[in-house]
Amino acid sequence: MAPIYRRHLTGLTRLMPGVREALTHFHLGGVSMGVATNKPQLATREILLHFGLTEYFGAIVGGDAVTYLKPAPDALLLALAQLGVDAGDALLVGDSGADLGAARAAGMAVILLRGGYSQIPVEELGADLVCDSLFDLPSAMQRLQADA
């Protein structure tokens, strides 16, 4: 990790609206959660610690913990193994084509959020559902379960 990046990990980083509310909702509901990112593992942990979010996650997998980055499924499969969850029982919440590709390759359902890293409108990527914000996530998950 470049020293300048390490020194400025959280300087301009902001949580998306609804992050704490969604994490608290699912944590209190007993949902196992993990992070699988292409960011380096150390940087990911440092960012999560800065925002007080590590307690929510049973797995935190950075891109340097796997051989292939998303859209390969490696990080997701490692996180699922650490959580003890089967891919068919899991859901990826992401914001990019790389997230969608990784989830599909792992055999997971996908909800994508608008406003993330996608150059293509997320509605065109083929997710199971698209949400405007994390505030919509609990109802979106209920819709997915009802359709299953």
So where are the chain's domains? 3-147
What is residue 119's predicted lDDT score, i.e. its pLDDT?
Answer: 84
pLDDT of residue 28: 97
- Tell me, what's the pLDDT at 78? 98
**What residues of the chain score a pLDDT lower than 50?**
none
pLDDT at 5: 62
> What per-residue confidence (pLDDT) applies to 6?
65
Rounded Cα gap, residues 60 and 111, in angstroms: 19
* pLDDT value at residue 101: 97
Residue with tokens 């919509």: 136
pLDDT attached to residue 123:
92
> Which pLDDT does position 42 carry in this prediction?
93
The predicted structure's pLDDT at residue 77: 98
Predicted local distance difference test score (pLDDT) of residue 68? 98
* CATH classification for the domain delimited by 3-147, as one of 3.40.50.2000, 3.40.50.1000, 3.30.430.20, 3.40.190.10: 3.40.50.1000
The whole-angstrom separation of Cα 66 and Cα 73 is 10
Contact between residue 31 and residue 64 where contact means Cβ atoms under 8 Å apart: no
pLDDT at 147: 85
List CB contacts of 44: < 8 A, sequence separation 6 or more.
35, 37, 60, 62
